[in-house]
């Protein structure tokens, strides 16, 4: 269903070709300037093309090789990918030093002379800096235009619009619930309330809220809960790599088998819209700039289970069934059910409580997203017209909040100057991905309302005010709560009777789990 991308995408090749044109034009310009300079000073210099044809290939190889190495095209770890003028200047200086040295030591590379090198370097540097700055300016202008352009005509809910919110008392669900109720939706909330009802306590008496306390893995419960429903939002899952690793069978039952069952019941009930919470963790480890068409590279059971669910939903898409897959970035911030097993919240809490910020793998990229903005994306998908959802899969986040863990650590240290920032090279988490979020902005008009700095400040204020007393409490951590408070074995139940009905043994949906 997806077209995997090669290591060198079309956009990357275009930029490489543009830089080749710049370098070669600058070399010709440098030789021409030397020629003019010598004629004006009465030192004849009659040839330009000869030295060019004997040296352009060397400059091209050295230039593109170094540009790629420092990250001009991969936008990876070694280069911050913001094309800062200083980085471009430093890199072009190195290119021309190596190029000039090659002309002296390699007999098959023509010497172009120091004046030509100086002229060529100055032209190339100016052109490369201007090209990068223009690209940044152009992207921002286009982003503003697309955001201010005609946004999708979102339908206002009428008195009969009922949303089934599965997992509504969780981290994202407890932030989404008030948005739906405020907009006028009737909400039927299905949750087992493993973490209690406290996350939704302010809204339990709302006249438009109906609460169903049950396990969403039960077919009979799901069928009854879908009566008179217009939209299904499925946020229920075992979330996070460590929590999913506790019990592989339980994870597959909860994240994959239950999702397929819920989607099939939704389709069978004639409900058109099915909104599913996926994750950008499906991209795994990559030095490329990733969009919804990029190849997936999962490094955990959690990510593989989400990919399998996506494949199920993509296979079910039809004129009468509209699945919407939201790949959330790395979420942070406070909600009704706050978590401190997420990197932004955890490091912020450690900074103010323990006085230390420990960063493992500081050069790894993450696309960060506030939990309130994750809820906003679901809300927009709920009310968007069908034509705005034709793409099916949407990365949820903002390009501005792509950030390395090292940059995150320094940002937290600026908020808590007394905290010691410690970097450790070893890292068991192999994920590294930088994501493009243009599609959701263009299709749904999505634009995050909160920034990393705001989320960090939220956590600091929650701890200072006593709202969060002990961030190490197991209830704030999925893996600790499941392993210490509940026990994965207690969440198992006899599913043999319905597993064969929901997922036949020869179903291809099992393939991503074992082969991904």
Mean residue pLDDT across the chain: 83
Band (153; pLDDT cuts 50, 70, 90): low
Instruction: Determine the structural domain holding residue 321 and report its residue range.
Output: 162-515
Q: Is the same domain home to 298 and 378? A: yes
In a domain, 309, yes or no: yes
Q: Is the same domain home to 132 and 166? A: no
Q: Is the same domain home to 105 and 187? A: no
Question: Could you tell me which residues come within 8 angstroms of residue 333 by beta carbon, excluding any fewer than 6 positions away?
Answer: 344, 345, 370, 371, 372, 450, 454, 455, 458, 459
Tokens of 74: 């991969």
Q: Is the same domain home to 307 and 269? A: yes
Higher-scoring residue by pLDDT: 511, 457: 457
Q: Is the same domain home to 113 and 187? A: no
Q: Is the same domain home to 221 and 268? A: yes
In a domain, 4, yes or no: no
- Of 148, 175, 198, the residue at which a domain comes to its end is 148
pLDDT at 509 over 60: no
Least confident of 199-208, 209-218, 428-437: 428-437
In a domain, 1, yes or no: no
Tokens of 90: 């430093």
In a domain, 157, yes or no: no
CATH of the domain at 315: 3.40.50.720
Domain count, the chain: 2
Nearest to 27 by CA among 110, 108, 130, 84: 110
> What is the pLDDT averaged over residues 134-157?
56
Nearest to 263 by CA among 320, 178, 301, 214: 320
Least confident of 192-196, 325-329, 452-456: 192-196
In a domain, 289, yes or no: yes
Q: Is the same domain home to 89 and 136? A: yes
In a domain, 154, yes or no: no
> What is the pLDDT averaged over residues 139-146?
53
> What is the pLDDT averaged over residues 339-360?
95
pLDDT at 15 over 80: no
pLDDT at 514 over 60: no
In a domain, 383, yes or no: yes
The count of other CB atoms within 10 Å of the CB of residue 205 is 7
């Amino acid at each position: 269903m997806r077209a995997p991308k090669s290591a060198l995408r079309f956009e990357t090749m275009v930029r490489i070709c543009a830089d080749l044109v710049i370098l070669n034009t600058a070399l010709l310009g440098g030789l021409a300037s030397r020629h003019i300079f010598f004629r004006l000073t009465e030192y004849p210099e009659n040839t330009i093309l000869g030295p060019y044809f004997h040296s352009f290939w060397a400059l091209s190889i050295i230039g593109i090789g170094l540009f790629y190495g420092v990250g001009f095209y991969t936008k990876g770890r070694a280069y911050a990918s913001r094309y800062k003028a200083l980085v471009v200047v430093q890199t072009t200086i190195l290119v021309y030093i190596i190029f000039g040295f090659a002309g002296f030591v390699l007999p098959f590379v023509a010497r172009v002379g120091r004046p030509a090198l100086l002229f060529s370097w100055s032209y190339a540097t100016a052109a490369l800096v201007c090209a990068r700055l223009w690209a940044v300016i152009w992207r921002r202008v286009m982003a503003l235009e697309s955001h201010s352009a005609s946004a999708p005509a979102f339908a206002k809910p009428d008195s009969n619009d009922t949303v089934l919110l599965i997992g509504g008392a969780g981290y994202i669900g407890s932030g989404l619930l008030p948005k739906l109720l405020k907009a006028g939706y009737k909400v039927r909330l299905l949750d087992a309330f493993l973490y209690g009802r406290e996350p939704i306590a302010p809204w339990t008496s709302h006249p438009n809220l109906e609460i169903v306390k049950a396990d969403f893995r039960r077919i009979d419960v799901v069928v009854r809960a879908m009566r008179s429903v217009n939209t299904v939002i499925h946020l229920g899952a075992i979330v996070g790599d460590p929590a999913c690793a506790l019990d592989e069978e339980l994870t597959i039952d909860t994240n994959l088998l239950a999702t397929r069952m819920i989607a099939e019941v939704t389709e069978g009930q004639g409900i058109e819209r099915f909104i599913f919470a996926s994750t950008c963790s499906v991209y795994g480890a990559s030095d490329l700039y990733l969009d919804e068409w990029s190849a997936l590279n999962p490094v955990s059971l959690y990510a593989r289970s989400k990919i399998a669910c996506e494949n199920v939903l993509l296979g079910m898409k039809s004129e009468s069934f509209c699945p919407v897959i939201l790949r959330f970035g790395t979420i942070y911030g406070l909600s009704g059910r706050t978590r401190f097993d997420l990197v932004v919240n955890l490091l912020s809490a450690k900074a103010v409580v323990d006085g230390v910020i420990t960063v493992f793998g500081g050069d790894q990229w993450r696309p960060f997203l506030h939990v309130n903005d994750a809820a906003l994306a679901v809300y927009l998908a709920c009310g968007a017209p069908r034509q705005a959802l034709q793409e099916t899969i949407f990365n949820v986040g903002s390009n501005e909040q792509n950030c390395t863990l090292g940059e995150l650590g320094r940002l937290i240290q600026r908020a808590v100057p007394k905290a010691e920032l410690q970097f450790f090279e070893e890292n068991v988490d192999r994920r590294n991905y930088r994501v493009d979020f243009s599609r959701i902005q263009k299709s749904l008009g999505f634009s995050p309302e909160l920034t990393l700095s705001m989320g960090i400040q939220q956590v600091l204020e929650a701890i200072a005010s006593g709202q969060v007393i002990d961030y190490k409490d197991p209830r704030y951590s999925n893996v600790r709560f499941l392993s210490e408070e509940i026990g994965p074995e207690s969440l198992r139940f006899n599913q043999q009777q319905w597993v064969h009905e929901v997922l036949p043994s020869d179903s291809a949906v099992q393939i991503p789990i074992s082969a991904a």
